[in-house]
Amino acid sequence: MLSNRLQIVDDFRVGFRAQKAWGGSMATAFFFGEAGAGLFFISQFFGFVQGMAVALLMVLIGKGGGHLMHLGRPSRGWRALARIGSSWISRGLFAIAMFAVFGGLHILDVSGKVLPEGLSMLVRAVAVAACLVIMVYQGFAMSHSSSISLWSTGLMPITSLTYSLLAGTMLMLVLGYDSVLAEQPDALRMLKLAAAGLLLYGFVVILAMLHAAKYGSEGGQESVELLLKRDFAKWFVSLVILVGFVLTGLLAAFGPTSYGVMLTMAAAELTGYYAFRVLVFKAATYDPAVSFAAHFRR
Amino acid sequence: MAKWGMVFDLKRCIGCNACAVACKQENSLPYGVFFTKTLSEEVGEFPTTTRVYIPTLCNHCEDAPCQRVCPTGATYTRPDGIVMVDGDKCIGCGSCIVACPYDQRTRLEPQMLERGLFGNGKLTPFELHGYARFTPGTAVKCTFCHERVDAGLQPACVATCPTNARIFGDLDDPGSTVRRLIQERRGRQPMPERNTNPRVFYID
């Protein structure tokens, strides 16, 4: 009770304010959405039906469930389709709906050839297009929030795409190890190499994102300090950087191609990725809305 | 059609927060929810320090980011410039809350309406009557007391301000007090770099 009261008193001072509207359930939804869409996309190249099915479930149950848990009025969630012209949330929901229908049809088609050739191509194209939107729209939705410098960068959709492809590759390495990849050892090595490249690229994107935030505004600087030096530093540095990039990168670049290594690599990358999703929400800071300190200093 | 706006005279504001209390009373706001606050800030270095008080509320931006990102169209702007939230359309996704650069929106969690102002879970007759206007789980914000404005009255915070630090009026009327103050005392909008064109101005 006392801490609640102190919080309210503190709210009456000019200063940085933490974003509290999006939390754990949104982070979970974003994680499953991007990882699932990434897996579906990678599975396309190998015609890996089990991977596509797991991906569809991840998006529908993991992402859908996370969003429903987050919404204040979940029964009205369908209304979010109303503003596709201006809202990335609307566009994302539309893509999820298309992905559910056409992704499901595509899986049935790949499993049993139930559609004629032309229609099959069309279903596949729509499913992959919807999948691509799911891979990036969350980054656009976040970067659209100009109030939070940590998010308000064009690098956010690229971060989403990179993490999505990375998670998809890792899951593919684990799920396809004994099936499609066992038949194509070259593909296994190629995917492992691709993972190493994506990790390097992703690491640079994260650094660039932090750099943009730090020099973007005072709120961005506060967010970066929270992530690298203060409250969330132990989690961000250990999980996102060391486990998610360094350990995973070392295993991808120098580890053997055994199942144990693939499993460890995927677990480390997904741990780092989930931690990133949660911490980027937690460290999001609004700039002080109004401050006349500089004016009064004159 | 008038375009309503507000001017805050920082020289007059004494930081009493009577505006915040009047707003809570007028809008039956539950514990922890504020549509307006007067923030304080210490400036300068010893021995030349001072404390300034900065009233804040929804800026009813002309290019409102909250309206742009709303996926359902629940956030809309009335012809007189007041930005509103339709509680029947809002799904409580929070995208408007993260999009508002001024942190002036709140999601009304169901427990906020169940706690009671005394924290014992029992609602007073005032709360029972007032909370009926809210839809739990949706976003809420200052509406410039639109019912009062429609009835030709001033918003509650303006009417109650003991020092006349809040001035409300028609920004499109060249003869209005708000226009004159903005022109004569070089009114400044909060965070102009965000390109939201707020209808709230500060003068000092």
**Which tens digit of pLDDT belongs to each residue from B104-126?**
999 999 999 998 888 888 999 99
Task: Summarize the confidence of residues A185-204 as an average pLDDT.
Answer: 94
Sorting pLDDT into bands at 50, 70 and 90, what band is A297?
Answer: very low
Please write the tens of the pLDDT for every residue from B3-27. 999 999 999 999 999 999 999 999 9
Residue A291: the pLDDT is 60
Query: Using alpha carbons only, how large is chain B's radius of gyration in Å?
Result: 17
Collapsed DSSP state (helix, strand, coil) of residue B37: strand
Residue B41: the pLDDT is 86
Residue B160: the pLDDT is 97
Task: Summarize the confidence of residues B146-155 as an average pLDDT.
Answer: 96
The residues, any chain, with a CB within 8 Å of residue A13's CB and separated by 6 or more, are B39, B40, B41
DSSP letter string, A12-58: TBSS-EE--SS-HHHHHHHHHHHHHHHHHHHHHHHT-HHHHHHHHHI
Contact between B71 and B161 under an 8 Å Cβ cutoff? The reply is no
Residue with tokens 């400036």: B43
Q: Which residue, among A24, A72, A174, has the nearest Cα to B96 in the 3D structure?
A: A72
The continuous run of DSSP H or E covering B169 comes out as strand B166-170
Question: What are the structural domain ranges in chain A?
Answer: 17-290
**A234 in contact with B at a CB cutoff of 8 Å?**
no
| ipTM of the prediction | 0.87
Residue A183: the pLDDT is 87
Domain that holds residue B121: 4-203
Task: Summarize the confidence of residues B193-204 as an average pLDDT.
Answer: 91
Residue A14: the pLDDT is 86
Burial (CB < 10 A; 0-12, 13-18, 19+), residue B49, is exposed
Residue A51: the pLDDT is 96
Residue A3's alpha-carbon distances to A6, A8, B51, in angstroms, are 5, 9, 25
- Closest Cα of chain B to A215: distance in Å? 15
pLDDT at B201 over 60: yes
d(CA B28, CA B33): 10
Q: Which region among A122-131, A269-278, B114-123, B133-142 has the lowest average model confidence (pLDDT)?
A: B114-123
| Contacts with B90 from chain A: Cβ below 8 Å | 72-73, 76
Residue A294: the pLDDT is 55
| Contacts with A296 from chain B: Cβ below 8 Å | 43-44, 50, 52
* Percent of chain B at pLDDT exceeding 70: 100
Structure tokens at B191: 């965070």
Q: Which of B48, B103, B203 to mutate to test the interface with A (most CBs of A within 10 A)?
A: B103
pTM: 0.91
Nearest to A82 among B72, B119, B136 (CB): B72
Sorting pLDDT into bands at 50, 70 and 90, what band is A287?
Answer: confident
- Closest Cα of chain A to B83: distance in Å? 17
Task: Report the topology of domain A17-290.
Answer: Formate dehydrogenase/DMSO reductase fold (1.20.1630)
**Mean pLDDT, chain B, whole residue set:** 93
d(CA A114, CA B181): 72
Residue A2: the pLDDT is 42
* Percent of chain A at pLDDT exceeding 90: 77
What pairs with residue B36 in β-bridges?
B57
Sorting pLDDT into bands at 50, 70 and 90, what band is B50?
Answer: confident
Task: Summarize the confidence of residues B60-74 as an average pLDDT.
Answer: 94
Estimate to the nearest angstrom the gap between the alpha carbon of A265 and the chain centroid: 18
- Closest Cα of chain A to B151: distance in Å? 31
Please write the tens of the pLDDT for every residue from A91-106. 999 999 999 999 999 9
Residue B18 belongs to a domain with what CATH number? 3.30.70.20
d(CA A39, CA B7): 54
Sorting pLDDT into bands at 50, 70 and 90, what band is A17?
Answer: confident
